[in-house]
């Protein structure tokens, strides 16, 4: 016992562990009827660590080349022990992560948690959304199967539609004019080096800021009542833990019952399979672009759509500056209506995308 | 209009030039203008001159005929794409006459060998004049055969022609008249993929075939055959069309006993097995064509396992009934059916296992041996020996059974995974429950402990 | 407080004990597949574009050998003169596996007597197309076949 104590003291002198412990002890989570939404940030973070762990494992066998990618994934899921599990968990966890992230984001939006002084927390979060989507888009291609090949082709083509900068972007993403082995190498680089580096910085900032400012309480509750609080350690953390344990269970169940299919190897000369669809979190954009007329006031419909989504993204990032005094009167109503419209739009378009073939 | 404008322009240039002071710059400008004009003029001269030579037609046949009514000018037009023209031949090389004379009578002088339109009887000799002359043909295509006319004389077409039948096919019926193409030109009427249609033009015409008392459905039947499928759908130009069995210049139906030789050109193993089989003798005696007794001739369908055996679709039962052959057919049919079903079963199971993410590629590869064995056994049907077929099928059956088991093993492995998952889920839920209890325990403590 | 409830400490200790073991069990259930995953599998990773087909001694002159190339069969032949040649072993007629005939010095397909010469060209029987040829590399004693 003494030895451990002295080791602790030794470390504390050098690392200041005591102060971290103190901070953790002091940390409290407000309790009110919307507290449930606080769990989703932690869930997203947990799923991200699952992605990091399984991603590193997959790297042991994956080969990022047009000749070897498909075969190496096939090798992982067939020859490597528990390879099927690791790969399926990685794929499923990616999807759950995006879902958890969306829930977290919209709960923050509707609770106006982005208001001062948490603007930068919101911005880093919004940027993390784009990074996560980038992870999804780049990771989808890596197995180099037919579906991924054509989804990437279509996806990068959409980027190429943007006037002036579109074509250079398309060439940058594809590593040339066509989707080839060069694209795969590039996407691999984005997926395992560029995006993780950016994500680490952003997540670090995001989490640090949350510790600095503490959990935000919705304005309405803040005004009417003094919310009760709960200790973060251990009460809230243990509740988080239950969520994470259940997430592990769900991931294992999904991986075993619905193993992620590998499909057929990509073939640049094969014709596109009928009804190719992007991953579900792109589907609403994909479907919207489909519905836009070819010409809107002499402008290309698709270009307008893409620009629209771009502006939408910008609006989303800048929300804290557009809505500086949330929780008051008409302004709140307007932003709530916008938020509800976006949620409904995404849900409806996603469903339509799934139903229509 | 354009000419006048140009003239005016050049006039302007000249006048401008005259008016300009003779500075070195102006001189240079003028020199450029003059040189450009000179260069353009030279160019124009050559263009007109060369155009004249390419359009220059010295043959009076072409000069006159191209101005005539379509019936008489069409040959000129279609001859443009003719292989003979590309080899440098002209009208008179076949039709005779003197193309240097502008006068109609002089040009068509019979003393110059002029023949306007050869009759059907004349045609073989007409073409054979060159095509049977080995020395002459060497100059154009040394590898081309020169026995077409000779062969033609042995064909049914040629024989009937000799007897005065003007309706039979001659050279031009198949090769065309003035737009003759090389046989390997896809536009040629005798290109492999076009032969059947060319023959079918006459042989598919009921009225035309009526006087000869022969059927006219060969083309339609052929189109439904496995060979036509290979030729038209798989674009396999080596697949047989009419002439591969009937010959082309010596076209005739193969004799009944030679059918096997004809089919055996490609299906050599089947022919060989059949020749040694007990069927050979009775088939010859019955005067039924060997292969076509079971496979028919023009509308040959892909063979099925049900053709052997005694069930519906069987060809054996048309002769065998309650005899030793019937029993053999029964055995052959059930053997083939069993193995083929087992292979399909194994294939389907392995496919499903693969879809479920299991590794079965080795079993799938191994299963090819079974398919091979089955294909070989199907060929052995031509021996008519149930024993031999059974012997060939035994390893295939064993292989299919083994690989079916591999598929089953893959599925048992899969269910093992699910069971393992179920067990781990119990643990996970248990743990979650314990954590929940822990929270309850912590929170049941009065707050005084904290302070 | 703890002393006031005599059952308290035992119950709590039991819960802590159970919780501890469950955490360890679950962690090991998670770590076990991870460690297993990191163990290199027995099978050497199948590459699609080249495959090792054996040693020089495996293929004497005037003989052939079937090998697995991905999911398809291949055939490697050493001619009487000692040259190595490799082809796809799927007959272009009906996909049977072809074999080398040392007597005829040809590649033959037993199913329908298809015949190919030693350049892979179809020279007899029903096969419509030549066999796809592969490249053979000999490095030391190892023979490797590459698809181009």
- The pLDDT tens digits of the residues spanning A82-104 come to 888 999 999 999 999 999 999 99
Lowest mean pLDDT among A70-74, A262-266, B330-334: A262-266
Q: Are residues C12 and C64 in the same domain?
A: no
Asked, for residue C16, whether it belongs to a domain, the answer is yes
Range of the domain at B335: 324-444
A262 to chain B, minimum CA–CA distance in Å? Answer: 8
Per-residue pLDDT, A228: 85
Answer whether C57 touches A (CB < 8 Å).
no
Between CA A246 and CA C23 the distance in angstroms is 13
Would the pLDDT of B53 be above 60? no
Q: Give the helix ranges, DSSP H, for B90-194.
A: 91-95, 104-107, 123-131, 134-138, 148-154, 156-162, 171-175
Contact C37 A75 (CB under 8 A): no
CB A120 within 8 A of CB A320: no
Per-residue pLDDT, C94: 80
Contact C126 B431 (CB under 8 A): no
- Using a CB–CB cut-off of 8 Å, the residues of C that contact B are 1, 12, 15-16, 18-19, 22-23, 25-26, 29, 68, 71, 73, 94-97, 110-113, 122, 124-126, 128-129
Mutation target among C111, C114, C127 for the B interface, most CBs of B within 10 A: C111
Between CA B214 and CA A344 the distance in angstroms is 74
Q: Are residues C76 and C19 in the same domain?
A: no
- Residue A174's pLDDT band, with cuts at 50, 70 and 90, is very high
Asked, for residue C110, whether it belongs to a domain, the answer is yes
Comparing A15 with A123, the larger pLDDT belongs to A123
Share of chain B above pLDDT 70, in %: 87
Lowest mean pLDDT among A138-152, A299-313, B31-45, C119-133: B31-45
Per-residue pLDDT, B5: 45
Q: How many Cβ pairs within 8 Å bridge chains A and C?
A: 43
CB C50 within 8 A of CB C148: no
A239 to chain C, minimum CA–CA distance in Å? Answer: 14
Which DSSP category does B255 fall into? P
Share of chain A above pLDDT 90, in %: 44
Q: Are residues C29 and C84 in the same domain?
A: no
Contact C37 A81 (CB under 8 A): yes
Per-residue pLDDT, A347: 93
Per-residue pLDDT, B44: 63
Q: How many CB atoms lie within 10 A of CB B102?
A: 10
Between CA A239 and CA A292 the distance in angstroms is 45
Per-residue pLDDT, A196: 96
Asked, for residue B385, whether it belongs to a domain, the answer is yes
Asked, for residue C120, whether it belongs to a domain, the answer is yes
Comparing B142 with A187, the larger pLDDT belongs to A187
C92 to chain A, minimum CA–CA distance in Å? Answer: 21
Asked, for residue B21, whether it belongs to a domain, the answer is no
Mutation target among C23, C128, C129, C130 for the B interface, most CBs of B within 10 A: C128
Residues of A in contact with B438 (CB under 8 A): 238
- Residue B9's pLDDT band, with cuts at 50, 70 and 90, is very low
Per-residue pLDDT, B24: 65
For range C108-121, the mean pLDDT: 85
Tell me how far CA of residue A210 lies from CA of A38, A61, A122, A130, in angstroms.
Answer: 11, 37, 10, 20
Lowest mean pLDDT among A46-60, B132-146, B370-384, C32-46: C32-46
User: Is it true that the peptide bond before A117 is cis, omega within 30 degrees of 0?
Assistant: yes
Per-residue pLDDT, B256: 60
B326 to chain C, minimum CA–CA distance in Å? Answer: 25
Residues of B in contact with C125 (CB under 8 A): 266-269
Asked, for residue B367, whether it belongs to a domain, the answer is yes
Ranges of beta strands (E only) in C11-80 are 50-55, 63-69, 72-78
Domain count of the fold of chain B = 1
- Using a CB–CB cut-off of 8 Å, the residues of B that contact C are 230, 234, 236, 238-239, 266-270, 272, 361, 364-365, 368-369, 371-372, 375-376, 379, 424, 427-428, 430-431, 434-435, 437-438, 441, 445-446, 448-449
Contact C112 B369 (CB under 8 A): no
Per-residue pLDDT, A37: 92
User: Is it true that the peptide bond before A234 is cis, omega within 30 degrees of 0?
Assistant: yes
Would the pLDDT of A244 be above 90? yes
Residues of A in contact with B359 (CB under 8 A): 77-79
Would the pLDDT of A53 be above 70? yes
Per-residue pLDDT, A21: 85
Between CA C38 and CA C35 the distance in angstroms is 5
CB A65 within 8 A of CB A181: yes
Comparing C92 with A59, the larger pLDDT belongs to A59
Comparing B243 with B451, the larger pLDDT belongs to B243
Would the pLDDT of C74 be above 80? yes
Comparing B412 with A268, the larger pLDDT belongs to B412
Residue of chain A nearest C147, judged by CA positions: A67
Q: Are residues C29 and C58 in the same domain?
A: no
Nearest Cβ partner of B357 from A77, A239, A242? Answer: A77
Comparing B355 with C26, the larger pLDDT belongs to C26
Contact C46 A67 (CB under 8 A): no
Which segment, A86-100, A229-243, B243-257, B269-283, is predicted with the most confidence on average?
Answer: A86-100
Which DSSP category does B183 fall into? T
Answer whether C71 touches A (CB < 8 Å).
no
What rounded mean pLDDT belongs to chain A? 88
Would the pLDDT of C44 be above 80? no
Per-residue pLDDT, B230: 86
For range B200-209, the mean pLDDT: 90
Would the pLDDT of B451 be above 60? no
Please, is B237 exposed, middle or buried when counting C-beta atoms within 10 Å of its C-beta (0-12, 13-18, 19+)? middle
Domains along the sequence of chain A with CATH:
16-265+273-355 (1.20.810.10)
Comparing C7 with B69, the larger pLDDT belongs to B69
Per-residue pLDDT, B23: 64
Could you tell me which chains touch chain B, where touching means 3 or more CB pairs under 8 A?
Answer: A, C
Domain count of the fold of chain C = 2
Would the pLDDT of A42 be above 70? yes
Asked, for residue B175, whether it belongs to a domain, the answer is no
Residues of B8-27 as b/e, b for ≥16 C-beta within 10 angstroms? eeeeeeeeeeeeeeeeeeee
Would the pLDDT of B127 be above 60? yes
Q: Are residues C137 and C64 in the same domain?
A: yes
Between CA A320 and CA A337 the distance in angstroms is 16
Sheet of strand C99-101, all strands in order from the earlier edge strand to the far edge: C99-101, C106-109, C114-116, C122-124
Contact B267 C112 (CB under 8 A): yes
- Residue A326's pLDDT band, with cuts at 50, 70 and 90, is low
Q: How many Cβ pairs within 8 Å bridge chains B and C?
A: 73
Q: Are residues C55 and C22 in the same domain?
A: no
Contact C128 B372 (CB under 8 A): no
Would the pLDDT of B355 be above 80? no
Q: What is the ipTM of this complex?
A: 0.81
Answer whether C113 touches A (CB < 8 Å).
no
Residues of B in contact with C18 (CB under 8 A): 434
Could you tell me which chains touch chain A, where touching means 3 or more CB pairs under 8 A?
Answer: B, C
- Residue B139's pLDDT band, with cuts at 50, 70 and 90, is confident
Which segment, A55-59, A281-285, B22-26, is predicted with the most confidence on average?
Answer: A55-59
Mutation target among C3, C109, C126, C130 for the B interface, most CBs of B within 10 A: C126
Between CA A59 and CA B311 the distance in angstroms is 58
Asked, for residue C43, whether it belongs to a domain, the answer is no
Between CA B29 and CA B36 the distance in angstroms is 11
Query: What is the radius of gyration, based on Cα positions, of chain B?
Result: 40
- Give the model confidence (pLDDT) of B167-197 as tens digits: 889 999 999 888 898 888 888 888 988 999 9
Tell me how far CA of residue B369 lies from CA of B78, B242, B364, C90, in angstroms.
Answer: 56, 35, 10, 12
Q: Which of residues 59-118 of A touch B (CB under 8 A)?
A: 77-79, 84-85, 88
Would the pLDDT of C39 be above 60? yes
Comparing B31 with B310, the larger pLDDT belongs to B310
The CATH number for C66's domain is: 2.102.10.10
Would the pLDDT of B413 be above 70? yes
Would the pLDDT of A205 be above 60? yes
Per-residue pLDDT, B13: 42
B445 to chain A, minimum CA–CA distance in Å? Answer: 12
Per-residue pLDDT, B6: 45
Asked, for residue B96, whether it belongs to a domain, the answer is no
Residues of A216-233 as b/e, b for ≥16 C-beta within 10 angstroms? bbbbebeeeeebebebbe
Lowest mean pLDDT among A289-303, B214-228, C114-128: A289-303
Answer whether A226 touches B (CB < 8 Å).
no
Range of the domain at C25: 2-38
Asked, for residue C58, whether it belongs to a domain, the answer is yes
Residues written for chain C = 148
Mutation target among A78, A80, A252 for the C interface, most CBs of C within 10 A: A80
Would the pLDDT of A198 be above 90? yes
Asked, for residue C60, whether it belongs to a domain, the answer is yes
Between CA B251 and CA B242 the distance in angstroms is 9
Per-residue pLDDT, A201: 97
What rounded mean pLDDT belongs to chain B? 82
Contact C41 A81 (CB under 8 A): yes
Would the pLDDT of B284 be above 90? no
Within 8 A by CB and 6+ apart from B310, the residues are B316, B317, B320, B326, B329, B330, B333
For range C122-134, the mean pLDDT: 86
Per-residue pLDDT, C2: 42
For range A118-135, the mean pLDDT: 95
Would the pLDDT of B70 be above 90? no
In three-state secondary structure terms, B164 is coil
Q: Are residues C124 and C56 in the same domain?
A: yes
Nearest Cβ partner of C36 from A67, A72, A82? Answer: A82
Lowest mean pLDDT among A6-15, B185-194, C7-16, C72-81: C7-16
CB C45 within 8 A of CB C68: no
Asked, for residue B351, whether it belongs to a domain, the answer is yes
DSSP per position, C74-118:
EEEEE-TTS-EEEEE-B-TTT-PBPEEETTTTEEEETTTTEEE-T
- C-alpha neighbours within 13 Å on the C-beta side of residue A76: 28
Between CA B176 and CA B188 the distance in angstroms is 9
Asked, for residue C104, whether it belongs to a domain, the answer is yes
Would the pLDDT of B7 be above 70? no
């Amino acid at each position: 016992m003494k030895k451990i104590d002295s080791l602790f003291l030794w470390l504390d002198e050098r690392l200041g562990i005591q102060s971290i412990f103190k901070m953790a002890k002091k940390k409290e989570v407000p309790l009110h009827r919307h507290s449930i939404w606080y769990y989703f940030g932690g869930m997203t973070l947990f799923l991200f660590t699952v992605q990091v762990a399984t991603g590193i494992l997959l790297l042991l066998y994956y080969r990022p080349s047009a000749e070897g990618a498909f075969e190496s994934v096939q090798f992982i899921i067939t020859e490597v022990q528990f390879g099927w599990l690791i790969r399926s968990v990685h794929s499923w966890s990616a999807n759950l992560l995006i879902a958890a992230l969306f829930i977290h984001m919209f709960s923050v939006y509707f609770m106006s948690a982005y208001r001062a002084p948490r603007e930068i927390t919101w911005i880093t979060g919004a940027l993390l959304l784009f990074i996560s989507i980038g992870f999804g888009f780049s990771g989808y291609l890596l197995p180099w199967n037919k579906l991924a090949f054509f989804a990437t082709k279509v996806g990068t083509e959409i980027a190429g539609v943007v006037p002036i900068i579109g074509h250079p972007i398309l060439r940058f993403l594809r590593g040339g004019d066509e989707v080839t082995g060069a694209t795969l190498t590039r996407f691999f680089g984005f997926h395992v080096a560029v995006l993780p580096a950016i994500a680490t910085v952003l997540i670090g900032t995001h989490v640090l800021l949350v510790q600095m400012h503490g959990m935000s309480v919705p304005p309405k509750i803040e005004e009417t009542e003094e919310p009760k609080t709960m200790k973060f350690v251990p009460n809230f953390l243990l509740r988080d833990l239950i969520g994470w344990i259940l997430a592990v269970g769900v991931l294992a169940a999904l991986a075993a019952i619905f193993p992620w299919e590998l499909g057929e190897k990509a073939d640049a000369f094969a014709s596109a399979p009928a009804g190719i669809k992007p991953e579900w979190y792109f589907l609403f954009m994909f479907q919207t672009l489909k519905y836009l007329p070819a010409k809107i006031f002499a402008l290309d419909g698709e270009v307008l759509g893409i620009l629209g989504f771009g502006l939408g993204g910008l609006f989303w990032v800048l929300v804290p500056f557009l809505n500086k005094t949330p929780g008051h009167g008409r302004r709140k109503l307007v932003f709530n209506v916008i938020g509800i419209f976006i949620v409904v739009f995404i849900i409806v378009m996603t469903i339509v995308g799934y139903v229509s073939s | 209009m354009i000419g006048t404008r140009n003239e005016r322009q050049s006039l302007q240039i000249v006048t401008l030039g005259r008016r300009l002071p003779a500075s070195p710059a102006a001189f240079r400008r003028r020199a450029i203008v003059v040189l450009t004009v000179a260069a353009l003029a030279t160019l124009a001269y050559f263009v007109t001159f060369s155009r004249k030579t390419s359009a220059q037609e010295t043959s009076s046949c072409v000069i006159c005929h191209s101005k005539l009514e379509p019936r008489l000018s069409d040959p000129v037009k279609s001859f443009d794409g003719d292989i003979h023209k590309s080899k440098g031949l002209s009208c008179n090389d076949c039709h005779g006459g003197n193309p240097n004379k502008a006068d109609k009578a002089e040009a068509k002088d019979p003393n110059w060998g002029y023949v306007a339109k050869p009759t059907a009887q004349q045609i073989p000799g007409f073409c054979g004049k060159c095509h049977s002359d080995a020395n002459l043909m060497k100059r154009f295509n040394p590898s081309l055969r020169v026995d077409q006319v000779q062969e033609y004389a042995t064909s049914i077409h040629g024989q009937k022609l000799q007897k005065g039948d003007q309706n039979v096919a001659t050279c031009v019926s198949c090769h065309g008249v003035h737009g003759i193409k090389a046989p390997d030109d896809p536009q040629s009427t005798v290109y492999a993929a076009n032969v059947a249609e060319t023959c079918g033009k006459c042989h598919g015409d009921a009225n035309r075939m009526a006087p000869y008392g022969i059927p006219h459905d060969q083309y339609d039947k052929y189109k439904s055959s496995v060979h036509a499928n290979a030729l038209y759908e798989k674009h396999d130009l080596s697949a047989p069309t009419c002439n591969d069995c009937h010959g082309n210049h010596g076209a005739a139906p193969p004799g009944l006993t030679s059918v096997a030789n004809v089919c055996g050109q490609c299906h050599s193993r089947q022919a060989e097995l059949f020749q040694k089989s007990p069927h050979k003798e009775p088939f010859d005696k019955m005067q039924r064509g060997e292969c076509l007794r079971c496979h028919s001739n023009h509308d040959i369908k892909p063979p099925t396992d049900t053709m052997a055996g005694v069930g519906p679709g069987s060809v054996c039962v048309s002769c065998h009934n309650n005899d030793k052959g019937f029993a053999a057919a029964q055995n052959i049919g059930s053997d083939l059916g069993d193995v083929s079903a087992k292979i399909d079963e194994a294939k389907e199971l392995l496919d499903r296992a693969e879809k479920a993410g299991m590794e079965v590629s080795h079993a799938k590869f191994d299963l090819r041996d079974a398919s091979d064995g089955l294909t070989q056994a199907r060929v052995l049907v031509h021996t008519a020996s149930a024993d031999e077929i059974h012997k060939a099928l035994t390893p295939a059956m064993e292989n299919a059974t083994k690989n079916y088991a591999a598929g089953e093993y893959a599925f048992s492995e899969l269910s093992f995974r699910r069971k393992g998952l179920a067990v781990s889920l119990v643990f996970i839920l248990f743990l979650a429950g314990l954590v929940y209890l822990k929270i309850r325990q912590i929170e049941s403590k009065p707050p005084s402990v904290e302070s | 407080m703890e002393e006031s409830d005599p059952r308290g400490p035992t119950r709590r200790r039991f819960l802590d004990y159970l919780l501890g073991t469950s955490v360890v069990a679950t962690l090991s259930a998670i770590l076990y597949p991870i460690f297993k995953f990191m163990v290199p599998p027995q099978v050497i990773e199948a590459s699609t574009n080249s495959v090792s087909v054996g040693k020089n001694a495996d293929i004497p002159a005037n003989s052939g050998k079937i090998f697995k190339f991905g999911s398809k069969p291949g055939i490697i032949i050493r001619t009487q003169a000692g040259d190595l040649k490799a082809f796809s072993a799927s007959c272009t007629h009906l996909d049977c596996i072809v074999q080398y005939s040392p007597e005829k010095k040809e590649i033959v397909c037993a199913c329908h007597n298809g015949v190919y010469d030693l350049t892979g060209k179809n020279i007899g029987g029903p096969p419509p197309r030549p066999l796809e040829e592969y490249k053979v590399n000999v490095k030391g004693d190892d023979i490797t076949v590459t698809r181009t």
